[in-house]
A and B are shown apart, each in its own frame.
Chain A
Amino acid sequence: MNLCNLEALVPQYVRQFEAYIPSPPDDELQQMFGCSRLIRMNNNENPLGPPPAAAAFLQSFDPALVSRYPSGDCRPLRARLADYLGVTPSQVILGNGANEVIAFVIKAFCQQGDNIVTADRTFAVYEWIARFSGVDARLAPLNDFGFDEEGLLARVDSRTKLVFICNPNNPTGTWWSRDRLIRFMERLGPNHIVVLDEAYAEFMDQPDYPDGISLLSRFPNLIIFRTFSKMYALAGLRIGYLVGTEQVTDIVRKTAIVYSVNTLAQSAALAALGDQTFITATRSLVQEGQQMLAAQCAELKLPILTSDCNFAMIKLPFSDTLAYRLLMQQGYMVRTMTGFRFPGWIRVSIAGREAMQGFCTALSRLVHSRTDQSPLAKVYGVF
C-alpha cells in the first residue's frame, strides 16, 4: 500500500501556507525563561475578567443544558444584540470568534482569482484566510501608522471583492474618523464590500470615531465586525459577530457554519452585553495604564503609539526579540512586532495597575541595561 499522495491531494495554496505556531503554555515559558510568574501582555486581553453577570450565569449552569445542541444560529443572542445595536436579528451573524466570521465573509464573496485589499500591518488573519483559500491578499503600506486611503484605492481592481479596514487598527491603535471613512466609502463606490473590523470599538471614547453600524443605511456594502474577546473579556469563550445589511447577511449566512458557538458561550455573551459599569471601569483602567506607559516612555525617550485601545506599541533602540527575551526573564510577555513588519517595536497590552507598574520598572531596567555604558553594567548586567 502506497502512502497516499498528499502533494496531489492538497492544493498548492494550502501546501504553501505556513502553520501558525502558538506560544507554549505558561509553565513551559516560565521554565524556559526562569521567571517565577508570568504576566501575559501579548494578547490584548481585558485584565478585569468577564462582567459579573456572565460569570454568575456560568457558575450556576445546568449540566443538562450541554447535552442538547445550542441554538444553531444563536437566536436568543442575535435578538439581544439586534436590540442593543438597533438592527434586526437577521442583520447579525455570530461565529466561533471573529476569526470564523472572517472566513464566512471571504468564502461568501471570493473565488480563486479574486482578491482582498487591506493594510500591510494590521490584524493578520484577513490575509491568512485569504491566502489559504487561494485568494490574493493585496497589502497597502500604512501611512504614518494609519490605513492609507490612497494606497488602498490604488490596489483595488475589478476582482477586488473585499476591503478590510481595521478601525481602530491593531497593532497601531490608529483610526479613521467618521468623515474620513465616509470619504473613502464614496471614493471606493458600491462595487466592493468594505469590512470594518471594530474589535476594539467599545474602548473608543472619541466624538468623531465612527460607529460603522450607523452608516449601514448610507453604505449598504459595509460589514462591521465585533467581538466579545476584547472589551467583554471573554476571549476564552470565542464569540465574534458581524453586522450588515440584510442583503449582505443573506449572502454571508449561506457560508456561515451553523452550531459553531456553544451553549455556554452564547449565554455568557448574552449576559455580558451592554454592562456599562463594566465598560466604564475597563475604559478608566485602560486610560490609566496608557498614561503610565506614555509617561515611562517619555522618560526613557522611547517613541510610543498610544490610543484608547488596550494596547500600545513601543519602539526600542534595539531588537524586539531581544527585548522579548529580557522582559520574559522579568516575567512580562509582550508581542514582538518584527513578524508584523515593525522591526524594533513591541506591542504591550494594558494590564492591571500593579502589573503596569511592574512592567514600567522592567522596561526601564531593560532600556538602561542596553544603553548604559558604565563598565559595571556591562559586566554584571542588571538581571
Chain B
Amino acid sequence: MFPANFGYVAARSVEEATELLAKYGEEAKLLAGGHSLIPAMKLRLASPRHLIDLGRVPGLSGIKVDGETLSIGALTVHADVASSDLARHRLPGLAEAASVIGDVQVRNRGTIGGSVAHADPAADFPVILTALDASFVLQGRFGRRTVAAPDFFLDFYTTALAPDEVLTEIRVPLPSSGSGTAYAKLPHPASGYVVVSAAALVVRDPSGRCVSAAVAIGGMGSRPQRAAATEASLHGQPLTPEVIAAAAAKASEGTDPESDLYASADYKRHIATVYARQAIETAASRK
C-alpha cells in the first residue's frame, strides 16, 4: 500500500516546526515515530500534503528528573520508557504501560508524544498518564503552555493541541514515598490495542491506609475516564482485598461504552471492574 505523495521537511528545531505548521495550516501533519500516522496514510485515511518530521530535532528525546517531576521528551520511544530505570523505580505503572504497547518493533519506533497527540481511545499512554495526573507542554509560535491531562484529551483523536503547536514534553509528577502505580490491560487479541484497561495510583500513610487514589479507565469511551466512585471508596480505607474489590466494582459507574465486534458494552463494563481491581491491587502491593 502506498500513501499519497507529500512534501517532506525535516525540521531542525521546534521553532521551525511551528513556523511550518503556521505556513501550511491544515495541509500539514507532524511526523514523530510515524506508527499511527503512516498506517493511516497507507490506508488513505490521512493524506497530508506536507509532513514535518520532528525526528531530527535535537533535545526532544529522553527521560530525566526535574524537581518533583519526571520529564519525558515527546520523541522518546516506548521501548526507552519501558526500560528506563527512572520510570521503573519511580513510576512502574508507566513503564508497565509502555511495555505492553504493540510489539517489540513498534516500541522501538513509536513515540510517547506521537501516541498521546494521536489520542486513539484504544491507546495505552493516555490512560496511565490520566491516572498519574500528567501534563503536556505545548510549544506554539508565540509561547508555550502546559495543559493537564483532563484538558488535553478532549475526544476521539482530539486533543487540546492548536494547529500550530508542537507537543514537546510530557511531565509526570513523581509520587511521594508510600505510593504505588500500576497498569492492567485486556488487549485485543489481533491488534494488541486496548479493549479495556485500567491505571492506578495509590498513596498510603505509614499504617497502610489509603490517603488518596487515582484510577483511570481506558476503552470505555472517547477518552480516558477517571473512576471517581472507585477513588472515593478507597479514600481513607485500609487497602485490604475486600476494600479494593468493593471499590473496583464501581469502576464502570458513569461510563457508556459502545458495543463492537469483539466486546459488548456489558462485557466491557464488567471487565473494567476486573482490570481496575488488578491495577489497584498491584499498585497497593508496590512500595
Do A and B actually bind? no
